[in-house]
């Protein structure tokens, strides 16, 4: 009986109300502290950094209390200045908190170099052109010279310079092809040269 009387007494009810009020105040203060410590109300719009160099990017992000980190460079894009931002994460227009890192991909200084394959000489034009284009090269001037094989690739040139298999050229370089005309004169010239060499060797022996 004493316990029930105490539960329904005025003193107990006052203490209960005070306890509830204290719990509410503690919960409110905790939520306010969490909001402050996590910056939940702070929203910074990510700027568009495309085509900006790092000096400009750093100044712009410092003004917004944001940081950046550079990722590996992408393939060269001629539409963007060299060493400028070509991609970013988060994307422009997204909202982030203070001190958030913006991950940047930069445009390299130029196209990378591609090695000329070793098995192009003496292949047909129909075989060689798709191979070179798939590697990122462009086909330029087509010329012919006497040879028994028609449309066989005899030489590969770039800006007039003879390119050997294994040489490296910048991607998108223009490659000129020298093809055989199928006239058969190459063999005759080769035989004449061999005969001259044999005659000279015989003379040397005497």
Asked if domains 44-106 and 113-189 share a fold, the reply is yes
Mean predicted confidence (pLDDT) in 174-182: 95
Total-model pTM = 0.51
Average pLDDT, the chain: 82
166 and 116 Cβ atoms separated by less than 8 Å? yes
Please tell me the chain's helix, strand, coil percentages from 3-state DSSP, rounded to the nearest 5: 35, 25, 35
Tens-digit pLDDT profile for residues 126-167? 999 999 999 999 999 999 999 999 999 999 999 999 999 999
pLDDT attached to residue 190:
41
Could you tell me the pLDDT band of residue 19, with boundaries at 50, 70 and 90? Answer: confident
pLDDT of residue 198: 43
pLDDT at 185: 65
Q: What is the 3-state secondary structure (H, E, C) of 2-53?
A: HHHHHHCCHHHHHHHHHHHHHHHHHHHHHHHHHHHHHCCCCCEECCCCCCCC
The alpha carbons of the chain give a radius of gyration, in whole angstroms, of 39
* CATH number for domain 44-106, candidates 3.40.50.300, 3.40.50.12280, 1.10.1370.40, 3.30.10.20: 3.30.10.20
Contact 52, 105 (CB under 8 A): no
- The residue with greater pLDDT, 165 or 19, is 165
In CATH terms, the fold of domain 113-189 is: Trypsin Inhibitor V; Chain A (3.30.10)
Q: Where are the domains of the chain?
A: 44-106, 113-189
pLDDT at 42: 67
Kind and range of the H or E run holding 200? helix 185-205
> What do you get for the CA distance between the two ends of the chain, in Å?
143
pLDDT value at 186 more than 60: no
The CA–CA distances, whole Å, from 55 to 44, 47, 49, 62, 114 equal: 21, 15, 11, 11, 31
Looking at residue 106, the DSSP 8-state letter turns out to be E
Q: In which band, very low, low, confident or very high, does the pLDDT at 111 lie, cut at 50, 70 and 90?
A: confident
Q: pLDDT, tens digit, for every residue of 69-86? A: 998 776 788 889 988 999
Structure tokens at 161: 């310079």
């Amino acid at each position: 009986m004493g316990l029930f009387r105490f539960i329904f007494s005025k003193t107990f009810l006052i203490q209960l109300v005070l306890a509830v009020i204290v719990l509410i105040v503690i919960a409110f203060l905790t939520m306010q502290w969490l909001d402050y410590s996590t910056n939940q109300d702070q929203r910074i719009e990510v700027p568009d950094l495309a085509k900006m160099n790092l000096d400009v990017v750093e100044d712009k992000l410092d003004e917004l209390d944001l940081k950046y980190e550079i990722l590996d460079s992408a393939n060269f894009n001629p539409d963007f200045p060299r060493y400028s931002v070509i991609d970013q994460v988060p994307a422009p227009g997204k909202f982030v908190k203070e001190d958030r890192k913006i991950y940047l991909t930069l445009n390299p200084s130029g196209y990378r170099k591609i090695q000329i394959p070793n098995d192009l000489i003496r292949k047909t034009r129909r075989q060689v052109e798709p191979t070179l284009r798939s590697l990122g090269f462009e086909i330029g001037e087509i010329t012919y010279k006497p040879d028994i094989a028609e449309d066989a690739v005899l030489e590969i040139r770039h800006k007039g310079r003879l390119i050997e298999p294994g040489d490296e050229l910048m991607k998108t370089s223009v490659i000129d092809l020298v093809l055989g005309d199928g006239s058969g004169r190459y063999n005759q010239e080769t035989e004449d040269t061999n005969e001259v060499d044999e005659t000279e060797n015989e003379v040397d022996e005497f």
